[in-house]
Amino acid sequence: MNLAKIFLSALLIDNIVLMRFLALCPFIGMSIDVSKSVGMGLAVTFVTVIATVVTWPLYNFVLLPLNLTFLKILVFILVIASLVQLVEFFLKKNVPGLYASMGIYLPLITTNCAILAVTFDNVSKGFNLIESVVYAVGVALGFMLSLVLLAGVRDRLKTAPIPKFLQGTPILFASTSLLAVAFMGFSGLIK
């Protein structure tokens, strides 16, 4: 029950993009069409889960006993950066098909703040390993959901009459604002 709660609140109520404003750069940059959004979303899900599985034991079994928790920023970002590299090598060699479709998104993920934020959240919320993984999946899918939604909106914007001062990027943020209003409706979903 508790796991479902963590998952839903990560996915909808505290949606990483629309409610917590993380990962805005890829959100604006990659939501050009639905297929790109899904590709980016899958790549992020993949890396977030692996990063969680690696950083959680690292924090709880290495940094915590050694009193080195002040190094967590440095350690976590290095873990994520090297993980992204490893995943890239692995996919290139073993699953070239997937690599070809995901390849361009991978380097971008290192600077996706959602992933680093998830690893920090896991620590600050005191999740155990299973809860952390569920949380990671929820956050990453929430990211994908918001990307797909904005991609849909952008499709319609191409033909919509937009006021002159909002043309270009401003209208994207204005639409995001309206999406965020919709997501605020979820806030009463779980007590």
Partner 1 sequence: MKRMWKIFVKGLVVENPLLMLMIGLCSSVAVTSSVSNGIGMGLAMTFVIVFAELVISLFRKLIPNDARIPIFIIVIAAFTTMVDLSMQAYFPALSKSMGVFIPLIVVNCIIMGRVEAFASKEKPLDAVVDALGMGLGYTWVLIGIAALRELLGNGTLLGARIMPEAFQPILFFTLPPGGFMVFALFISLNLWLKKKITNGTAVREAA
Q: In the structure encoding, which two tokens stand for residue 102, read together?
A: 């995901």
Give the distance, in angstroms, between the CA of residue 149 and the centroid of all CA atoms in the same chain: 15
Could you give the maximum distance between any two Cα atoms of the chain, in Å? 60
Among 64, 95, 129, 184, binds partner 1 (CB under 8 A): 184
Residue 54 makes contact with partner 1 by CB under 8 A: no
Rg over CA atoms, the chain: 18
The DSSP output letter for 187 is G
CA nearest to 22, candidates 139, 179, 171, 178: 139
Residue 185 makes contact with partner 1 by CB under 8 A: no
Residue 58 makes contact with partner 1 by CB under 8 A: no
Is the distance from CB of 140 to CB of 49 less than 8 angstroms?
A: yes
Question: Can you tell me the distance from the alpha carbon of 149 to that of 51, in angstroms, rounded to the nearest whole number?
Answer: 26
Among 174, 185, 189, 190, binds partner 1 (CB under 8 A): 174
Among 3, 96, 177, 190, binds partner 1 (CB under 8 A): 177
What is the number of alpha carbons within 13 Å of residue 33 lying toward its C-beta?
2
Q: Which stretch binds partner 1 (CB under 8 A): 4-12, 39-47, 64-72, 94-102?
A: 64-72
Site map 110..149 versus partner 1, x via CB under 8 A: xxxx--xx--xx--x-------------------------
Question: Can you tell me the distance from the alpha carbon of 28 to that of 21, in angstroms, rounded to the nearest whole number?
Answer: 12
- Min dist CB 53 to partner 1, Å, is 20
Residue 170 makes contact with partner 1 by CB under 8 A: yes
- Min dist CB 134 to partner 1, Å, is 19
Interface residues with partner 1 (CB under 8 A) are 18-25, 28-29, 70-74, 77-78, 81-82, 110-113, 116-117, 120-121, 124, 165-166, 168-174, 176-178, 180-181, 184
